[in-house]
Structure 1
Amino acid sequence: MGFHAAIYQIWKERNFRIFESKSTHKTQILKRILGDICFKMNQLTACRETPHARAIEAAKIFGYKFSDMVRTVHHCSWAKPQKDEVKINSDASLESHCASIGGLIRDDLGMSLAMFSVDTDMEDIYVLELKAIFQGIILAKAKSYSKIWIESDSQFAVNIILKQESTPWNCWNLVSDIFTTLEGFVSWKITHSWREGNSPADLLSKPSYPFKGLDIPVEHSTAQLLHLIEEDRNEVKYARVYLR
């Protein structure tokens, strides 16, 4: 973390000096590096019940205080759709050498009706998340469902469709296609889900998922996927621990 933070701040200072002909004192640059490290440590420990001893030792070196933080716990679970609608959960995965999208459609009993897992071109993650949402919508249309509830763990993608965020230029056509397709449904809605409540879609989005296709037969569900779907059916609650 120290190496990456130092390189990043040196690069910023380099641009500051070249393009604005100004400079920052070295002590201020050091403070920024330490600030970046502390911020990253906050992220790494955000899901731990108790910070690791080595993390505490490193925190002392960089002046980071775990004791100043307040622990809050939020619980989340997958919510079932209404009897007359189906729910689409989607996700995207971007790795160093490949990208893929995945998702599934379930009924009010939590039963899987359809699913997809497709390798795709490497693009910005928000583009991939929108692609995953679009693919879920297309699959629902092909199955002749009339009322859909879309759920994604990408808040940015959800906000774009809700028109609460400006649409990036590189996905204007994609978002336009999403809205055009949505016009064919009797009703639709979209909400954000925490990652813990989107586990089956997360698994299907992995490049390593053994079955690929735009409409994978539900009998091709792996044991792990079936387990996650069953947990959702039983409304298992997942704890999200925040350190503030």
Structure 2
Amino acid sequence: MRLSFCMVVSMIWRERNSRLYGKPPCHKKSTLHSCLSVIHSRFAHLHLDDFISRNNVATAANFGLPCIHERTSAVFCSWTRPALEVYKLNTDAAVRNGIGGIGGLIRNSVGEVQVMFSLRSGSEEIHLLEMKAILHGITLARTEGYNSIWIESDSLLAVNVLLEKWDCPWKAIPIVEEIRDALRNTPNWKLSHIWREANGAADFLSKPDCCCEGAVLLPSCIPRGLRDILDLDAAGHLYPRL
């Protein structure tokens, strides 16, 4: 739909410029034909996804345009248990109604919660909150004496910046340096990206309206909704990627 709209606007603008510079006007039917020809060629090479691009498929049908329509199978992901004597830290951040929140939890090799946190924050940019969550989680892990930690975040930007794969946004430089200092003091650590759908426990704790709040929360504080997510994670439940 966006392609069709942009192409019509582009063709009208070209015709306007053509007339402005004294060229003979083009008949509206000719302009429409040129527009449809370009859209036709673009759509002919599109691979439209069955459950994400239904609007695009409908648009192609309305224009009478051929397109390659591929049905893709659903993709699943899951929370993976850490190895024995390794503790897994999952973190997340969220902003709702101008209020930010960070949350995270540390679990052992069988998926049992050791400690967790849920804190409110200002309405900062989301990638800064994601990094704040990682920093708080690492600090908490070190305070609790966990020397071997596997850190997971669903922020691809935060993970790739910390792994030095992407350039660091200038606003994030101070907190990135803090995280790197904390990691240098961690004997054994690993950092990886996790899909959002499999990071539900940390997402639950990051919500500004989370029913539990505190810098250090013990397993006795786990509410029912979070308990259900933890049980699914520990069982290796497969979450469909949306």
Q: Which amino acid aligns with 1:221?
A: I
Output the aligned Cα RMSD: 3.1
Find the structure with the greater CA-based Rg. Answer: 2
Following superposition, the deviation at residue 55 of structure 1 comes to: 8.6
Q: Which residue of 2 aligns with 1:131?
A: 132
- TM-score, normalising length: structure 2: 0.75
Is residue 166 of structure 2 the alignment partner of residue 165 of structure 1? yes
Q: Which residue of 2 aligns with 1:23?
A: none
- TM-score, normalising length: structure 1: 0.74
Aligned length: 207
Following superposition, the deviation at residue 62 of structure 1 comes to: 7.9
1:1-244 aligned at under 5 Å gives the runs 45-46=51-52, 60=61, 68-240=69-241
**Matches of 2:196 and 2:185, distance apart in 1:** 29
Q: Which amino acid aligns with 1:161?
A: L
Q: Which amino acid aligns with 1:214?
A: A
Identity %: 33
Partner SS, residue 103 of structure 2: strand
Q: Which amino acid aligns with 1:135?
A: H
Counterparts in 2 of 1:44 and 1:204: CA distance versus 1, 3 Å: farther
**Matches of 1:198 and 1:64, distance apart in 2:** 40
Counterparts in 2 of 1:68 and 1:187: CA distance versus 1, 3 Å: same
- Stretches of structure 2 that go unaligned for 5 or more consecutive residues are 14-30
Following superposition, the deviation at residue 186 of structure 1 comes to: 1.2
**Matches of 2:64 and 2:155, distance apart in 1:** 33
**Matches of 2:65 and 2:183, distance apart in 1:** 48
Partner SS, residue 90 of structure 2: strand
**Matches of 1:215 and 1:45, distance apart in 2:** 41
- Stretches of structure 1 that go unaligned for 5 or more consecutive residues are 14-26
